[in-house]
């Protein structure tokens, strides 16, 4: 059975966090971030300190999907227009 992909967005980059779900210190709460802007999620759950956390940033770096650019603002969370270079 294939696990659903956990794709998140941060700082104009796209990340596939699927492999990190089991390692996430906050447990499965990370699944709430699927197809969301991480800043919005971090603020919603009161963990906006993640924004300036070097450990969080280094974890994100491991899961970046290369050559993606977000073209649509996050005003509509149901549609994100990505390009792959």
Collect contacts of 32-35 with beta carbons under 8 A, ≥24 apart. Answer: 33/6, 33/8, 34/4, 34/6, 34/7, 34/8, 35/7, 35/8, 35/9, 35/77, 35/80
Domains, the chain: 7-73 (3.10.120.10)
| pLDDT by 10s per residue, the chain, length 85 | 345 899 999 988 999 999 999 999 988 889 999 999 999 999 999 999 999 899 999 999 999 999 876 665 554 454 444 544 4
pTM, two decimals, is: 0.76
């Amino acid at each position: 059975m294939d696990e659903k992909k956990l794709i998140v967005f941060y700082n104009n980059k796209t990340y596939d966090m699927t492999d990190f779900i089991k390692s996430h210190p906050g447990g499965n709460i990370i699944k709430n971030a699927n197809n969301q802007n991480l800043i919005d999620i971090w603020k919603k759950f009161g963990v906006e300190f993640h924004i300036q956390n070097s450990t969080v940033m280094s974890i994100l770096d491991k899961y970046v999907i290369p050559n993606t650019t977000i073209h649509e603002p996050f005003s509509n969370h149901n549609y994100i227009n990505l390009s792959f270079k």
